[in-house]
Amino acid sequence: MPQAVFIAPARGADSGATRGGVGLSSMLWSGPASRAARLARGWLAAVWLCLPVLGAAQGMAVVPAGSVGQDVTPHWLHVADPRADMTIDQVRQLAVQGPDSPWTAPAPNGSAVGFGFTKAAHWLRLTLRNPTAEPSAQMLEIANARLSYLDFFAPDATGQYQAIRTGGDTPFATRPYASRHFVFPLTVAPHSEQVLYVRVQSTTGLVVPAKLWPAADYSKHQRDDYMVQSVYFGVAAAMILFNLLLFVALRDRAYLLYVSFAVSSVLILAAKAGLWDEFLWPHHWRLTSAAFYTAVSVGFVSFFQFTRIMLSTPEQMPRTDKALRVLSALHVVAPVLYWTSFALVAPYAIGVIAFSAITAFGVGVWGMIRRMRAAYFFMGAFSMLLIGVFMVVLRSAGLLPTNVFTVDGALLGSTLEMLLLAFALADRFNQLRREKINAQQQLMETQQRLLENLQSSERILAQRVDERTEQLLALNQKLEALSMVDGLTGIANRRQFDQVLAREWTHMQRKGHNLALVMLDVDYFKSYNDVCGHQAGDECLRSVAQAIASICRTGDLVARYGGEEFVIIAPGTDGLQAVQLAQRACDTVRALAMPHPLEHAAVVTVSCGVAVMVPSADSTLEALLGYADAALYQAKARGRNQVAGGDFEA
């Protein structure tokens, strides 16, 4: 037999949970009757049977078995509980009619009642009537998985109200019916009324979309609902896996950002749909709200970074790029607040999310105005999702009605966004490939032109190379000579000395002749330099070098050994000749008569150390240098301005 439940208009104060066959039904169907009484009963029966129709015309609705869910939004009565401390008994005592009644009919927001963002609790009252002779099993569905707290009150057989306390911020096990939404099974007795109360309170947008379903139809409705969800999440999983494989293959960061954004979108929509609480973590309900907004922030960070790559904002729109980086930083910090002070920041989070969505949309529009190719794909892909998200945000704030577009539009928008965005990435890949091919072609053409230019100039270059070779040879010889000369004194430097000494050592060893070495040091030069200054010291060294060079033979080499030390290489010279050479050097320097600031020195002089050896396999250059250096120290020890070392001849 068909069942029907009428949603009755409010009538008087709540004097009981049910009104059964007592009263009107008794008058209609019991007791002896005259013809007039039977006629009166017939009219009353006709009025009773017409009540559903009249009720429907005046705000009542009927849900016969097998029909679609009946929207109960127009039939709620509402009272606010600002301090959230009212009990069910207090609420039941409130007068439903009359000038002092606090109950009001809330303004419907589409197929839901909405109260925006508020910390207050709100009580909703619904009267159901079953005019049939059979019990009516119904399912009251409140299709907002993000409601934090929801208390459902229905009378038991004794008329006492029993509470079912559940909500998004309570364990999933508190729900009387396993569903992503809040579903409350109830039975309305035959020929009776039943008054239901629902208390709602939420840290998110307070929207209550409610429908009444025949119990026999609800399972099919739930299967169809989950089928829609599975289609979306199946498509999303396929797109995520596909683009993840593309990232692994191409190593393009844009694909990884796309995957991050797509995963965030899936998590956001799964949380919004109540699937987190049912499947992901039914025992960790306290994490859902903070995790939901964290996923939103991660999604926006990925989205903004993806936008910067797709639209090349650092190069094309630097000011816009700065704004995107600032918003990204804000969303990086936001999860800290979500996990520490969620109730405080939740109303502001919706504003930040809405502003971020509008900003992203504006960036795409600005790119289109600048005729950027990627912007058209960007807008085509993201406008669907952005519009869907924007409608959800406005619905949560109570600014848009609740309907299929504001509830499930985000699923469709996200699906289209993933598909279109995949096309955008494919176009970007093709565009980069074309640019690479064009660049390679231009490179080949440039290389060909360069080759032709090189071939045409090769002959000229060959001539110039010959000319330059001669010039370089001359220059190298000059540089080689300069590298062998001391820059201060103009005589041979240490490098030339080392080379000549090694060469003469080998030469004298081969001939078996003497090799003499005279080492000279300017006496008290440090004092001279300290008192007279560095310029005078440099001039002194130049004069000493010229004086020493003037007494040497053509085959001898005079070199600056280091600092104020000089050295003479005299090949084929015995010990006596070497001492005489050194003595002439002492005399010549002293004859310069350069005044010395020290009183006991009078003039600048030099001390000489002489060493003579016949190079052999048993002797070394280092030994010769050591003998000369020791002789020099001996001359200094004897009082300076003299020669020592004739006895070092070997």
The 10s digit of each residue's pLDDT in 279-329 is 877 777 667 778 888 999 999 999 899 889 888 899 989 999 999 999 999
Residues 360, 398, single domain; the answer is yes
Map tokens 């399972």 to a residue.
219
What are the strands, taking DSSP E only, across 496-605? 515-522, 557-562, 565-571
- Predicted confidence at residue 398, as pLDDT, reads 60
Please report which confidence band the pLDDT of residue 15 belongs to, taking 50, 70 and 90 as the band edges.
very low
- Predicted confidence at residue 165, as pLDDT, reads 95
- Predicted confidence at residue 371, as pLDDT, reads 86
548, 589 Cβ separation under 8 angstroms: yes
Instruction: Please say if the pLDDT value at position 13 is more than 50.
Output: no
Among candidate residues 437, 457, 486, the one where a domain is terminated? 437
Measured between alpha carbons, how far is 277 from 272 in angstroms, rounded to an integer?
Answer: 10
Q: Each residue of 549-604: pLDDT tens digit? A: 999 998 899 999 989 999 999 999 999 999 999 999 999 999 999 999 887 778 99
Residues 392, 521, single domain; the answer is no
pTM > 0.95: yes or no: no
Instruction: Please say if the pLDDT value at position 503 is more than 90.
Output: yes
Q: Each residue of 210-237: pLDDT tens digit? A: 999 999 889 898 898 888 888 888 888 9
Residues 430, 499, single domain; the answer is no
Q: Is residue 1 part of a domain?
A: no
Q: Is residue 612 part of a domain?
A: yes
The CATH number linked to 599 is 3.30.70.270
Give me the domain span that covers residue 49: 6-222
- Predicted confidence at residue 38, as pLDDT, reads 47
Number of domains in the chain: 3
Q: Is residue 229 part of a domain?
A: no
For 140, list phi and psi in degrees, rounded to 5: -90, 115
Residues 11, 151, single domain; the answer is yes
Task: Indicate the angle between helix axes 404-483 and 253-272, nearest 10 degrees.
Answer: 160
Please report which confidence band the pLDDT of residue 49 belongs to, taking 50, 70 and 90 as the band edges.
very low
In single-letter form, the type of residue at position 27 comes to M
- Predicted confidence at residue 506, as pLDDT, reads 94
Residues 276, 401, single domain; the answer is yes
The CATH number linked to 54 is 2.60.40.2380
385, 306 Cβ separation under 8 angstroms: no
Residues 201, 274, single domain; the answer is no
Q: Each residue of 100-144: pLDDT tens digit? A: 889 998 877 667 888 888 889 999 999 999 998 999 899 999 999
Give just the sign of the alpha carbon dihedral 449, 453, 456, 458: negative
Residues 409, 278, single domain; the answer is yes
Map tokens 């009720």 to a residue.
55
Of residues 198 and 172, the one with the higher pLDDT is 198
Which DSSP letter does residue 66 get?
Answer: T
Averaged pLDDT, 78-100: 90
Residues 89, 149, single domain; the answer is yes
Distance of CA 310 to the CA centre of its chain: 16
- Predicted confidence at residue 427, as pLDDT, reads 74
The mean of the pLDDT values for the chain is: 82
Residues 291, 368, single domain; the answer is yes
Residues 432, 511, single domain; the answer is no
Residues classed as catalytic: 564
Please report which confidence band the pLDDT of residue 465 belongs to, taking 50, 70 and 90 as the band edges.
confident
Residues 272, 209, single domain; the answer is no
Measured between alpha carbons, how far is 579 from 478 in angstroms, rounded to an integer?
Answer: 35
- Predicted confidence at residue 364, as pLDDT, reads 86
| Sequence-ordered list of residues with C-beta below 8 angstroms from that of 314, at least 6 positions apart, any chain | 308, 321
Instruction: Please say if the pLDDT value at position 23 is more than 60.
Output: no
Inter-CA distances, 283 with 137, 172, 270, Å? 30, 7, 16
Instruction: Please say if the pLDDT value at position 545 is more than 70.
Output: yes
244, 266 Cβ separation under 8 angstroms: no
